[in-house]
Structure 1
Amino acid sequence: MYREWAAAAERAITTRHLRRVWALPRTVLGRSGWPPTPDQRVHWHWNYWWQAHLLDCLIDAQLREPTPARSVTIDRFMRTVRLRNFGRWTNEYYDDMAWLGLAMQRAGRDVSVLLAELRGAWTAEGGGGIWWHKGDRFKNAPSNGPAAILHARAGETERARELFEWMDATLVDPATGLVWDGLRVDDGELVKAIYTYCQGVFLGTCLELSEVDAAARTVRAVAAHCAPGGVLRGQGGGDGGLFAGILARYLALAAGRLPAPGGDAARSLVLDSAQAAWSGATEAPGGPLFSSEWSEPAPDEASRDLSVQVGAWLLLEAAATL
């Protein structure tokens, strides 16, 4: 069932969003909206990190049901990211680069340029950790989490552990176990906003480093505070459209790696959320159109965002692995 739902999400999103860039042959990226605005038609507004997660979904689909055609699409997609980024893999945001690195690494590509950028972002200020983007003074879970996962998967365990220990000591609420957003280094202010994104990347870091107790604590916190009725809550459109899907990816990994009851709780969160997202979707050209809030029916205004649709696809591919 979940495999069929993931396949349907793939067909819908590739039908509505995947297009050539600047009419060039053998190029493909995801349009940022559907129906597209004029600037989205020409990929003027393209969101580097949304494309990284779309690439991750294509790789998920290839693992689920390999096809030669999708393999070609994945290769073209990676080349087009670099083309659209004016010949570079890098940008100003360290979380963006970590996400692209994670997707490219899964595809077996060289990510040394991206790893070098992340290594250079670490400083001792604020107790350690890396910056959110170049030139700022903010260190947060959205950058440190995916960077730690990438470092761990690249065999750079010492740096991954440094990032984990900084997040665990600085950003985890001792009362709830939830992960706060970040630290403003100059004045020491903790930004205590709660995003599903932050829970997901911290959980993923715990799993890569076999920090079982911290991973189980995070799953408990998510179940208690981020999933009313057992369904992961949404955080609107724009960048927020990806947040719950990212969390679902790492909950699915936790389901296979944590002993009961943590693994069972993670599994239920993913599968219950997948059922809600599927039940709330409506039919559109190519297939289902998902809501930004999985417990509520689509469409809503945010449903036109690529991020919202890819977030649901992330969820359904995660469910398919279970």
Structure 2
Amino acid sequence: MVARHLRRVWALPGTRLGVAGWPQSIGNRLHVHWNYWWQAHLLDCLVDAQERQPNAARAGTIRGLVRGVRVRNFGAWTNDYYDDIAWLGLALMRAHDCEDVPVTRAMTAIAAQLRAGWTDHGGGGIWWRRKDLFKNVPANGPAAILFARWSTRGGERADPQRARSVTEWMSQVLVDPATGLLWDGVYVEEDGSIRDVVKVIYTYCQGVYLGACVELAEGDTSGVWIERAERTIGAVAAHLNDDDVLRGRGGGDGGLFAGILARYLAQAALRLPTSSPAAATARGLVVGSASAAWRNRALARSGPLFGPEWSQPARVPRTAGHRRAERDLSVQLAGWMVLEAAALLERSTG
């Protein structure tokens, strides 16, 4: 991944950014199309690897990527998309915990924008982006996780309640009563009423909702968040995998979806009560998916290359114009993510 996808930003020393595609086009090398939220997951994966096997070179890459994101975002930490900034905030907190990367200024800006994104339209929740009429799980899930975590690291006193309110909104508005899975989101009218519920099922949505429930279960005596986490894991096991391998969603943004679910399944496996059958189910889904991704990898320049469907053999793109999902940074990050999730579970059992 580092050899194929990481480059300086406009040749500036001390910067790194993930190139969107490999083999690289000229536009890729110049970071014309750079996918802000993919960089957040690249940072998360680098932190995963550093926690597993620390080394000085990777520590420098982590710092360079943080600088690169800010440079390519023209000196700002935020943009108009609430899901984008929540993902970057989560990754920055982990980079700080791992390598003491300074994040206070960035987190202050990100958290403030997320707090301002809550309105009562559609019963509550945070917008997907500024000046829009859509609220969805992909924005609210990572925001809830961020509020829960940032509250112990310098956030506001009300942030834990914000995390609960955001997750409760998802629970009340976007859980499919028939399957227990999360729908994508809702369009609302300007008067605040819900115009339409987007009943599309994405693995991504299950992962971030599960992650929020696991965060809120810490120190909670009611049991409601554990129950919701267990229900979500059961729904994923029943509907979104084949023989313990999570289903993919092609390339582009969809390339990250299964990897995100794998990350939060691993957290659930580690943090739910050991007596919970759902914890064992979550572990099985992560290990099964990682095994399949590795078994079906292709051999490309500098190392293994993953496909968008972990249950199927990956194929190597030959040129920058070869339109295969395997070109996408997102698809490769998901493969890296599921392997790190499985490695984390392996370390936890000695």
Match of 2:85 in 1: 97
2:100 corresponding residue in structure 1? none
What SS does the aligned partner of 2:186 have? Answer: strand
2:14–2:67 contact (8 Å) kept in structure 1 = no
1:252-306, Cα deviation, whole Å (9 max, x unpaired):
0111122331000000000000000001101001110100000000027100000
What is the aligned partner in structure 2 of residue 148 from structure 1? 144
Structure-to-structure mapping, 1:219-230, within 5 angstroms: 219-230=233-244
Whole-angstrom CA distance in 1 between matches of 2:56 and 2:87: 25
Deviates further, 35-44 or 196-205: 35-44
Shift in Å, 1:137: 0.3
Between the aligned partners of 2:23 and 2:281, the Cα distance in structure 1 is 37
Question: What is the identity, as a one-letter code, of the residue corresponding to 2:332?
Answer: Q
Q: What TM-score do you get using the length of structure 1 for normalisation?
A: 0.95
How far the C-alpha of 1:188 sits from its partner, in A, is 2.6
The amino acid across from 1:129 in the alignment is G
1:82 aligns with 2:60: no
- Structure 2: where are the runs of 5+ without partners? 97-102, 152-158, 218-224, 317-323, 346-350
Q: Which residue of structure 2 aligns with residue 64 of structure 1?
A: 52
Corresponding pairs, count: 310
Instruction: Give the structure, 1 or 2, with the largest relative contact order (CA under 8 Å, sep 6 or more).
Output: 1
Partner of 1:16: 4
Q: What is the CA–CA distance in structure 2 between the aligned matches of 1:312 and 1:202, rounded to whole Å?
A: 21
Name the structure 2 match of 1:6. none
Rounded Cα–Cα distance in structure 2 between residues aligned with 1:99 and 1:33:
20
Identity fraction in percent: 61
Deviation string 1:222-251 (CA, Å, 9 cap, x unpaired) is 001000121000000000000000000000
Kept in 1: contact 2:185–2:198 (CA 8 A): yes
1:261 maps to amino acid: P
Q: Which residue of 2 aligns with 1:193?
A: 200
Cα separation, 1, equivalents of 2:10 and 2:70: 14
Give unpaired runs (5+ residues) of structure 1: 1-12
Q: Determine the C-alpha separation between the residues in 2 that align with 1:245 and 1:131.
A: 24
**Residue number among 179, 188, 203 corresponding to 2:182 in the alignment:** 179
Give the conservation status (yes or no) of the 8 Å contact 2:9–2:71: no
Residue 25 (structure 1) shift: 1.4
| Cα distance in 2 for residues equivalent to 1:24 and 1:144 | 35
The correspondence of residues 140-289 of structure 1 with structure 2, limited to 5 A, is 140-155=136-151, 156-186=159-189, 187-210=194-217, 211-258=225-272, 259-289=275-305
* CA distance in structure 1 between the partners assigned to 2:14 and 2:53 by the alignment: 23
Give the equivalent residue in structure 1 for 2:128: 132
Give 1:64 deviation, angstroms.
0.5
Aligned to 2:338: 315
Moved over 6 A (4+): none
Amino acid at match of 2:268: A
Distance 2:300 2:28 in 1: 19
CA distance in 1, matches of 2:172, 2:95: 33
Number of the residue aligned with 2:25: 37
Output the CA distance in 2 between the equivalents of 1:80 and 1:124.
36
Cα distance in 1 between the residues matched to 2:308 and 2:210: 22
The offset of 1:72, in angstroms, is 1.1
Q: 1:41 deviation in Å?
A: 1.1
State the one-letter code of the partner of 1:66.
P
Equivalent residue number for residue 298 of structure 1: 314
Q: CA RMSD in A?
A: 0.8
The equivalent of 2:36 in structure 1 is 48
1:260 and 1:214 mapped to 2: Cα distance? 12
